[in-house]
Amino acid sequence: MKNFREFFSTKVLITGGLGFIGSSLARRLVHLDAKVTLIDSLIPFYGGNLFNIHDIKDQVIVNISDVRDPYAMANLVQKKDYLFNLAGQTSHIDSMNDPQTDLDINASAQLSILEACRKYNPDIRIVFASTRQVYGKPEYLPVDEKHPICPVDVNGINKLAGEWYHLLYNNVYKIRSCALRLTNTYGPGMRVKDARQTFLGIWLKNLIEGTPIKVFGNGLQLRDFGYIDDVVDALLIAAINPKAYGEVFNLGGIQYINLKDLAALLIEIFQKGTFEIVPFPPDLKAIDIGDYFSDYTKIHQFLGWSPRVSLREGLKKTLEYYIQNKTYYWE
């Protein structure tokens, strides 16, 4: 595994820094002796959780502000070497119920952040966290970056806009940026009180509580999953490799699995529990994408990244974490 010495003593800004991915990235950067600033709004439902940094809280700077505040962002981007732009509204259902807020966070704020970089720190290097939701319903599998773009919900459209703003500013203003399209990122620290980040979160909570896992549809839908350690590796690699600038990369998991088998695997690892197949709620059915799993050949060829953590290993670590720390995530 790469040692990432390039981050030693660098100044790093992470938006969404108290969330699942942001806090995990911050922990790695602290261990690499980077000087880390986290920005998070701590808005309920968006995943920020102070416990996520309980072990590094004295080694990072935390700024409680909103990426929609252009004045805060103009100040925060100054004198930073790297920006990991992870803040976002992730719920597909919330994006349909409140499309304006999704637009404000996932599109308008991204343009504002990039303008702040253009005016106050054009030498910064940016990695933007995008989503596989931009593809919509796959026309073929696995899905590569050449797949047609056809989002099925407001979230996918706004994340695509945010992604393209970053590529435009790279191409026109030479602000070195790239985008990673994440798919079902999971691991210790993810939101589990509901399905706003990934359905896997509420599955884990239900399993630990002794409530049946609810598998929507027929349970045969295929998915792949990215364990947090692998995703953090990809973010770091993309930030330091010039081959990444101006590019979009899919991330993916080592294997894909149908949802019924995934529920059974969780129960096998936990050694108890049940699942049931239930009809899709109408609002979810309307934006369901069917089968999906990624082709991550491009990022492997360009940057040398591949996932390393198996699904079984990742699920085991995640379950162990929430069994031990559920008090901090259930509330």
Strand bridging mode 222-224 / 256-258: antiparallel
- Number of Cβ within 10 Å of residue 13's Cβ equals 27
* Per-residue pLDDT, 327: 93
How many angstroms from the chain centroid is the CA of residue 129? 6
* Per-residue pLDDT, 95: 86
Q: In this model, does residue 6 exceed pLDDT 70?
A: yes
* Per-residue pLDDT, 286: 80
- pLDDT (average), residues 134-139: 95
Q: At what angle do helices 20-31 and 228-240 cross, to 10 degrees?
A: 60
* Per-residue pLDDT, 323: 97
Q: In this model, does residue 196 exceed pLDDT 90?
A: no
pLDDT in tens, 276-288: 999 988 888 888 8
Q: pLDDT band at 198, cuts 50/70/90? A: confident
Q: In this model, does residue 118 exceed pLDDT 90?
A: yes
* Per-residue pLDDT, 209: 96
CB neighbours of 70 closer than 8 A, spacing ≥ 6? Answer: 112, 115, 116
Q: pLDDT band at 331, cuts 50/70/90? A: confident
pLDDT in tens, 199-256: 999 999 999 999 999 999 999 999 999 999 999 999 999 999 999 999 999 999 999 9
pLDDT in tens, 142-194: 999 999 999 999 999 999 999 999 999 999 999 999 999 999 999 999 999 88
- Taking all residues of the chain, what is their mean pLDDT, rounded to a whole number? 95
- pLDDT (average), residues 72-87: 96
Give the pair of three-digit tokens for residue 313.
């290993």
Choose the CATH number for 5-190+225-254+292-309 among 3.90.550.10, 3.60.15.10, 3.40.50.720, 3.40.50.1000.
Answer: 3.40.50.720
Strand partners, 275: 213
The C-alpha atoms of residue 241 and residue 22 are separated, in whole angstroms, by: 20
* Per-residue pLDDT, 163: 96
CB neighbours of 40 closer than 8 A, spacing ≥ 6? Answer: 15, 16, 17, 18, 19, 22, 48, 62, 63, 64, 87
Q: Amino acid identity of 179?
A: A
Q: In this model, does residue 87 exceed pLDDT 90?
A: no
Give the pair of three-digit tokens for residue 21.
């991915």
- pLDDT (average), residues 303-320: 98
Percent of residues, the chain, with pLDDT higher than 90: 87
Q: At what angle do helices 311-325 and 199-209 cross, to 10 degrees?
A: 60
* Per-residue pLDDT, 1: 58
pLDDT in tens, 35-51: 999 999 888 777 789 99
* Per-residue pLDDT, 148: 97
pTM of the predicted structure, to 2 decimals: 0.96
SS3 160: helix
Strand partners, 11: 35
Strand partners, 181: 130, 250
* Per-residue pLDDT, 47: 77
Q: Are 227 and 307 in contact (CB under 8 A)?
A: yes
